[in-house]
C-alpha cells in the first residue's frame, strides 16, 4: 500500500512504516500537484501546511486514511472525509508537554520583560531602570481555558511554580489533578492574574474570549494563547493592551499564518511576545509525533487490508 507524506515525518516514524513494508513518498506539493497525484495513494500524512480539502478527498479515489501529525485537524475536512468512510487520525498527546512548556516559558518571560529587554540589549542599550518592575508568578492566580492534554500538563507545571490554578472547560467538570479547581466561565474571569487558552478553534462559535469578557477581567491580566488562532480576537487583544486592561500578551498562534502585514501591530507591541507557532516544535515532540502517527496509520491500513481480504 502507498502512503504520501507531504509535510515531512521523523526518521523514527518513517522507519516504522518502511519496516511494515508500505511504499512511502515524501514530497512537498503545491495544492494543484496534490490534486494530480493523490489518486494513487491509500493514505496521506500531513502536518499543518497541507490542506486536505473536499476536492483532494474526491480526487483520492484510493484514500482510506488521512493522518495529521499534530493536535488540530482544522486543515482537514474531517466531516466530509468521515462521510466518505475515510479514517481520520491525529496525535493529540504527542506534543502536549512541549506546548505546555512553551506556555510556561511565555508566562515567565512576560512578567520579566524578556522579549523587549532582549531587543534593547541587542541595540546596545542598558534598560535596567525601565524594566525594574517585574512580576513574580509565585502565589499568582492562573486560569486555564480547557483542561485537555495540554491544559492538564500546563496546570501541573504551574502548580510546581506555586501558582493558584483554576480551570474552565465546557465539557469537563472534574479533574484528578490535586490542587486544580474547576470553575465556571464567570468565575474564570474574576480575580485572575494570568489566563491561558488551550482550546480548538470553532469558527462557527467564534472566539472563546470576546470583547465583553475583557470588560469583566481586572486590569493588568496577562494573556497567553498557544492553542489556535481565532480562539481570541487579536484586535480585541491589541485594544486591551493599549487600554492596559491586559498588561502583557503572548501568542504562538494567529488567525492567519504567517500573519498579514496589517496584523503585526499586536506582535510588535512592546508588551507582547510572539513566537511563530512552535509549540510542538521540539526534538522530543517531533519524534513522538512521528512514531505515534506512523503506528496509527500502519494499524489503520492493516485493519482495512484485513477487512477487504475477508469481504
Q: Give a three-class secondary structure readout of 136-197.
A: CCCCCEEEEECCCHHHHHHHHHHHHCCCEEEEECCCCCCCCCCCEEECCHHHHCCCCCEEEE
Q: 258 preceded by cis ω (within 30°)? A: yes
Q: What is the CA radius of gyration of the chain?
A: 22
Segments of the chain with pLDDT less than 70: 309-311
Relative to beta strand 2-5, strand 43-46 is parallel
d(CA 174, CA 129): 45
Is 142:197 a contact under the CB 8 Å cutoff?
A: no
Sheet with strand 194-197: strands edge to edge: 180-182, 164-168, 141-145, 194-197, 221-225, 246-251, 272-274
pLDDT at 293: 96
CA distances from 248 to 63, 111, 174, 224 (A): 46, 8, 30, 9
How many Å from the N-terminal Cα to the C-terminal Cα in the chain? 18
Give the DSSP letter string of 246-292: EEEEEES--SSSSPPGGGHHHHTSTTEEE--S-TT-SHHHHHHHHHH
The dihedral region occupied by 145, where left means phi > 0, alpha psi between -120 and 50, and beta the remainder, is: beta
Global pTM reads: 0.87
pLDDT at 309: 61
Return the DSSP state at 55: H
Catalytic residue among 143, 198, 228, 269: 228
CB atoms within 10 A of CB 15: 14
Of the residues 136, 257, 284, 307, only one is catalytic, namely 257
Residue 228 annotated to the active site: yes
Task: Please provide residue 118's backbone torsions phi and psi, each rounded to the nearest 5 degrees.
Answer: -65, -40
Contact 145, 195 (CB under 8 A): yes
Catalytic residue chosen out of the listed positions 59, 157, 271, 277: 277
Rounded to whole angstroms, the Cα distance separating 279 from 197 reads 13
What backbone torsions phi and psi does residue 76 show, to the nearest 5 degrees? -125, 135
The model's pLDDT over 137-193, given as tens digits with 9 standing for 90+, comes to: 999 999 999 999 999 999 999 999 999 999 999 998 999 999 999 999 888 888 899
How far apart are the C-alpha atoms of 295 and 292, rounded to whole Å?
5
Q: What are the angstrom distances between the C-alpha of 155 and each of 167, 195, 207, 273, 302? A: 8, 11, 22, 21, 38
Active-site residue flag, 101: no
DSSP 110: H
19: CB partners within 8 A, 6+ apart: none
> What is the pLDDT at residue 311?
53
**For position 202, what pLDDT does the model report?**
80
- How far is the C-alpha of 107 from the C-alpha of 194, rounded, in Å? 8
Q: Establish whether 277 is a catalytic residue.
A: yes
Amino acid at each position: 500500500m502507498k502512503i504520501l507524506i507531504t509535510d515531512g515525518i521523523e526518521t523514527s516514524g518513517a522507519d516504522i512504516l518502511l519496516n511494515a513494508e508500505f511504499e512511502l513518498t515524501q514530497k512537498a506539493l503545491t495544492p494543484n500537484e496534490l490534486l494530480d497525484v493523490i489518486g494513487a495513494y491509500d493514505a496521506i500524512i500531513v502536518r499543518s501546511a497541507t490542506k486536505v480539502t473536499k476536492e483532494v478527498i474526491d480526487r483520492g479515489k484510493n484514500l482510506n486514511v488521512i493522518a495529521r501529525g499534530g493536535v488540530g485537524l482544522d486543515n482537514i475536512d474531517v466531516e466530509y472525509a468521515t462521510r466518505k468512510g475515510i479514517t481520520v487520525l491525529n496525535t493529540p498527546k504527542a506534543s502536549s508537554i512541549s506546548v505546555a512548556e512553551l506556555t510556561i516559558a511565555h508566562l515567565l518571560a512576560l512578567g520579566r520583560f524578556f522579549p523587549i529587554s532582549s531587543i534593547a540589549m541587542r541595540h546596545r542599550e542598558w534598560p535596567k531602570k525601565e524594566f525594574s518592575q517585574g512580576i513574580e508568578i509565585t502565589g499568582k492566580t492562573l486560569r486555564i481555558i480547557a483542561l485537555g492534554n495540554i491544559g492538564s500538563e500546563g496546570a501541573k507545571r504551574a502548580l510546581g511554580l506555586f501558582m493558584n490554578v483554576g480551570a474552565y472547560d465546557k465539557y469537563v467538570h472534574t479533574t484528578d489533578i490535586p490542587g486544580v479547581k474547576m470553575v465556571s466561565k464567570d468565575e474564570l474571569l474574576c480575580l485572575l492574574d494570568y489566563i491561558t487558552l488551550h482550546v480548538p478553534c470553532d469558527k462557527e462559535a467564534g472566539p472563546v474570549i470576546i470583547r465583553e469578557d475583557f470588560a469583566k477581567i481586572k486590569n493588568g491580566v496577562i494573556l497567553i494563547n498557544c492553542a489556535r488562532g481565532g480562539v481570541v480576537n487579536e484586535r480585541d487583544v491589541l485594544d486591551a493592551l493599549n487600554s492596559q486592561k491586559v498588561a502583557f500578551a503572548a501568542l504562538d498562534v494567529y488567525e492567519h499564518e504567517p500573519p498579514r502585514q496589517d496584523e503585526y501591530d499586536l506582535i510588535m507591541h512592546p508588551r507582547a511576545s510572539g513566537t511563530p507557532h512552535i509549540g510542538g516544535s521540539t526534538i522530543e515532540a517531533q519524534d513522538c509525533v512521528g512514531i505515534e502517527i506512523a503506528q496509527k496509520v500502519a494499524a489503520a491500513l492493516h485493519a482495512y487490508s484485513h477487512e477487504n481480504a475477508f469481504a
